[in-house]
Amino acid sequence: MTPGSTKVAEPEFDALVVGAGFAGMYMLHRLRKLGMTARVFEAGDGVGGTWFWNRYPGARCDTESVEYSYSFSDEIQQKWEWSERYPTQPEILRYANWVAEQLDLKRDILFSTRVNAAHFDEASSQWTVTTSDGSTTRCRFLIMATGCLSTANLPDIPGVETFAGSRFHTGNWPHEPFSFEGQVVGIIGTGSSAIQSIPIVASQAKHLYIFQRTANYSVPAHNGPLEPERLDEIKTNYHDYRHRARHSRRGYFEDTNPVSAHQVSEDERRREFERRWQFGGLGFIASYNDLLSDEAANEHAAEFVRNRIREIVEDPETAEKLVPYSYPIGTKRLCIDSGYYETFNQPNVTLIDARDEPIVEVTERGIRTSETEYNVDSLILATGFDAMTGTLKRIDIRGRNGLELRSYWEDGPVSYLGLGVSGFPNMFTITGPGSPSVLSNMMVSIEQHVEWIADCLEYLQANSIETIEPDAEAEAEWTRHVIEVADGMLFSKGNSWWKGANIEGKPTVFMPYAGGVGRYRSICDDVAANSYSGFDLSKAPASASSTS
Ligand code: NAP
């Protein structure tokens, strides 16, 4: 159909948003403020995204509650009362639902509706989105708020489907309460999700077998109730704290220490690591500004953690298995725990080093390794996610000329700023690959992307622009830059999900932008200030202009 020759059907919505996690919720709010018609499709039957699905025992945010929360509305940040330093999954979910009520979001969210396909039609410059109920909806703008860790990774262990007991994946936990009381339980994986759940499962189970393939570095959370005085102080100074976070490296109130680990004496370094260990949390990796770029500096921090593990774990053989050696600290996501290493001092807990004793298969009764079979009543797969690209590639997304996103990304994701993909006009990705996203406080990155996209849409409306998409050269340049920044750091030394190394056959490409959220924000702001440089903008032919 040639624009202008036949009447183009109006789109049903100006914008469709995929996902009702924190990104999708805020996006909907901003779209409404622009006066745009919008609908959100959400696969789950409630809001909250990752916090809707990840209900495993001990699930809790590794970022402090006062930082892992919306900052766009002072009313919201002043009204909500966090109860603990690190919020539990149920508290975050209550918060998400409360915000949805405050902003009356749910009336525009279609729950239990999975997006299966989204095809761009060049004649009308509209997207047609097909959902799991078989229906199709047309829109001008397609905004993917699908999250970075939303497709659970079922490990390719032979027989995993045949287990006859109760099987769980941490990323897709049942909504009904479940107790492991009196059970023999096996857990595969020792990443963040496992490290949070193991102490709780061990407190219930008759026996817990933990299958560890790679020992991880974990720092204590030192969680506790949020003191009212601290909450008051933060609320009084929220504006300054949030400003600092937005312009920092990692999106937190406290920025990375600007000093090199080599600039200080051994004593001083130890004191700083000790101070951060005692304080707890992800800030440990920000002790010095070169921990992620200088191997010798990194080794100081790694060795500090190794020694703490040896101090906590009583059995020296178990302690040595738990001590991570195979990669520099922080080149896989640092874990935060509440009593993880202490759990190995319990008589009902056994650590199996799957490097020495590889898992051969899952049987009906349990897990068979090269040495023996461990019979278990329940099996927990804490085996992570097909991160950042997995969810997007599972949707049949087709741009210009039927270009499929999954084939365009066959060798790894290419994206301009993690916000858009060349050949996919009017499609935006919130915290997409190529943006700081998972290397930062997600809330800070989500808000920055939503606000950038909302400003962009306003600009398009004001200037009667029909389509926007990244220029292929700008996209290639940015993708190269993302890899170059990561290559200048130590990230190549860790087999992380950040670079897809956890998924068999996935291209090994470092996906998030490691240049820091403050720097990234100013790059995005400059792009916008320069009339969206690096994007191709096209005006609607006068006769075919429909909604803008
Ligand atoms: P993960 O970090 O990818 O850990 C998966 C674990 O499963 C690893 O120990 C991995 O071993 C193991 N594994 C995978 N396939 C296996 C196989 N076939 N055989 C044996 N072991 C296997 O996943 P996650 O723990 O779910 O965490 C993912 C991310 O989610 C975190 O890094 C974090 O960003 C986020 N998260 C955040 C929070 C929070 O803020 N509260 C909590 C949980 C998770 P290898 O290391 O050898 O691959």
- How many angstroms is it from 37 CA to the middle of ligand 1? 38
pTM: 0.96
Nearest-atom number in ligand 1 for the CA of 189 is 7
Nearest to 454 by CA among 15, 80, 156: 15
Nearest-atom number in ligand 1 for the CA of 62 is 40
Q: In the prediction, which pLDDT does 4 show? A: 42
Domain boundaries in the chain?
12-151+387-539, 160-381
- How many angstroms is it from 238 CA to the middle of ligand 1? 33
Residue with tokens 């500090």: 304
If one residue of 192, 438, 499 were mutated to test the ligand 1 pocket, choosing by the most ligand atoms within 8 A of its CB, it would be 192
Nearest-atom number in ligand 1 for the CA of 333 is 32
Q: In the prediction, which pLDDT does 255 show? A: 87
Digit-by-digit pLDDT tens for the chain (548 residues) are: 344 445 667 889 999 999 999 999 999 999 999 999 999 999 999 999 999 999 999 999 999 999 999 999 999 999 999 999 999 999 999 999 999 999 999 999 999 999 999 999 999 999 999 999 999 999 999 999 999 999 999 999 999 999 999 999 999 999 998 999 999 999 999 999 999 999 999 999 999 999 999 999 999 999 999 999 999 999 999 999 999 999 999 999 998 999 999 999 999 999 999 999 999 999 999 999 999 999 999 999 999 999 999 999 999 999 999 999 999 999 999 999 999 999 999 999 999 999 999 999 999 999 999 999 999 999 999 999 999 999 999 999 999 999 999 999 999 999 999 999 999 999 999 999 999 999 999 999 999 999 999 999 999 999 999 999 999 999 999 999 999 999 999 999 999 999 999 999 999 999 999 999 999 999 999 999 999 999 999 997 764 444 33
Non-local CB neighbours of 231 within 8 Å, separated by 6+ positions: 66, 81, 82
- How many angstroms is it from 230 CA to the middle of ligand 1? 32
Nearest-atom number in ligand 1 for the CA of 384 is 23
Q: In the prediction, which pLDDT does 547 show? A: 37
How do 126-131 and 136-144 pair as beta strands? antiparallel
- How many angstroms is it from 477 CA to the middle of ligand 1? 31
Nearest to 15 by CA among 32, 38, 34: 38
Closest-CA residue, ligand 1 atom 12, reads 189
- CB-based pocket (< 6 A), ligand 1: 60-62, 149, 155, 157, 170, 188-194, 196, 213-214, 333, 354, 359, 382-385, 438, 497, 502
Say how far apart CA 245 and CA 320 lie, in whole Å.
Answer: 37
What order do you get walking across the sheet with 359-362 strand by strand?
Answer: 359-362, 366-369, 373-375
Nearest-atom number in ligand 1 for the CA of 60 is 41
Say how far apart CA 20 and CA 46 lie, in whole Å.
Answer: 8
- The structural architecture, per CATH, of the domain 12-151+387-539 is 3-Layer(bba) Sandwich (3.50)
Cα 62–68–72 angle (5° rounding)? 170
Q: Using the 8-state DSSP alphabet, how is residue 343 labeled?
A: H
If one residue of 327, 502, 504 were mutated to test the ligand 1 pocket, choosing by the most ligand atoms within 8 A of its CB, it would be 502
